[in-house]
């Protein structure tokens, strides 16, 4: 480490985030991520001093009274990324003031946070931000990818966001649905009475999406379509506002055209709400590119670091 770097470190301290830090923390977050749009309520949790498994941990880096960096992690059960592994940590947000970047501030905060998580017995940390995205955006935050790789994270999967222009699509499914009916498969909008059947289907086949059954009770059946065979649900698709997804078909029932029918039905709902474009998150891009010529708008890396000695 050169003299300048040592001097930079000597002036900067890493501390536990407290309520008094919140005004500066919010300003730094909005400056670093202008598209946060007020989604910073979790900072209150980070500053509340809650401990193990209670929700959130927050650290700040400061030069005197000036806050120059912030790092927040959430500790929770994650049935999607770490099924059956107990609580894991998510990196909710990391930001460093532009004038203090490349001076080791992020490294100092991360090393302190990792030590805290290890002491708590947390086995792994994932990049899954509540503010930014489900992963690290390669185009917007390539420097963050480099940082996490340097800190020992590894890429676990690529995540794609896609978009589709609804005014250019033929969303008629009548012929495809008639063919499915001849094969004993009915595709329809879900009814309130089928909410429990959907919950059982999701719990068995797609446990990480089981919460979608609650959307029927909370928001109404207009959001979800299902495919049924022999009185049992074998597929579903959900949408909300301009967002399509999730969608899932029982593995043994795929390659029959069920998924595309569910997709087009969901897109019809989005168009009926007045949207000209549909947004698709966590997209299986070959399926959407092939089915509706959707285009990729964002590529993210989901990254993980094992810290618990597994």
For the chain (310 residues), the mean pLDDT of every run of 10, in chain order, is 49 90 88 70 71 69 93 79 74 89 93 93 83 66 88 90 93 97 96 90 85 76 91 94 93 95 97 95 88 91 82
pLDDT tens digit sequence for 270-300: 999 999 999 998 888 899 999 999 999 988 8
Q: How far is CA 160 from the centre of its chain?
A: 11
- Please give the structure tokens belonging to residue 238: 């959900």
* Residue 74: per-residue pLDDT: 86
**Dihedral over Cα of 146, 86, 92, 73: its sign:** negative
pLDDT of residue 271: 96
Q: What pLDDT is stored for residue 251 in this prediction?
A: 93
Q: Note the pLDDT of residue 84.
A: 64
Would strands 154-165 and 232-240 be described as parallel, antiparallel, or unpaired? Answer: unpaired
CA gap 262, 247 in Å, rounded: 8
pLDDT attached to residue 81: 62
Instruction: Give the model's pLDDT for residue 142.
Output: 84
Q: What percent helix, strand, coil does the chain show, rounded to 5?
A: 40, 30, 30
Which structural domains are found in the chain, ordered by start?
Answer: 3-132 (3.40.630.30), 164-300 (3.40.630.30)
pLDDT at 77: 75
Supply the pTM of this predicted model: 0.73
What pLDDT was estimated at residue 133? 56
């Amino acid at each position: 480490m050169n003299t300048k770097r040592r001097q930079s470190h000597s002036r900067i301290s890493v501390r536990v985030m407290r309520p008094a830090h919140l005004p500066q923390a919010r300003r730094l977050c909005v400056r670093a991520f202008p598209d946060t749009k007020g989604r910073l309520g979790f900072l209150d949790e980070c500053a509340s001093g809650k401990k193990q498994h209670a929700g959130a941990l927050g650290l700040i880096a400061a030069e005197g009274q000036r806050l120059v960096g912030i790092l927040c992690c959430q500790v929770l059960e994650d049935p999607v990324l770490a099924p059956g592994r107990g609580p894991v940590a998510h990196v909710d947000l990391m930001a460093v003031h532009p004038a203090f970047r490349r001076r080791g501030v992020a490294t100092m905060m991360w090393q302190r946070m990792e030590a805290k998580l290890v002491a708590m017995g947390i086995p792994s940390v994932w990049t899954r931000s509540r503010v930014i995205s489900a992963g690290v955006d390669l185009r917007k935050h390539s420097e963050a990818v480099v940082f996490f790789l340097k800190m020992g994270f590894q890429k676990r999967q690529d995540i794609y966001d896609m978009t589709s222009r609804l005014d250019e699509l033929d969303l008629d499914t009548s012929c495809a649905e008639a063919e499915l009916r001849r094969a004993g498969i009915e595709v329809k909008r879900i009814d309130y009475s089928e909410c429990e059947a959907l919950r059982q289907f999701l719990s068995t086949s797609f446990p990480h999406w089981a919460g979608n059954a609650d959307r029927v009770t909370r928001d109404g059946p207009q959001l979800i379509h299902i495919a049924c065979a022999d009185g049992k649900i074998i597929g579903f698709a959900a949408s909300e506002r301009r967002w399509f997804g999730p969608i899932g078909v029982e593995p043994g029932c795929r390659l029959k055209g069920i998924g595309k029918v569910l997709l087009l039905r969901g897109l019809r709902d989005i168009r009926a709400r007045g949207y000209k474009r549909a947004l698709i998150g966590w997209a299986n891009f070959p399926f959407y590119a092939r089915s509706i010529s959707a285009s990729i708008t964002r590529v993210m890396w989901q990254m993980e670091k094992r810290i618990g000695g597994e």
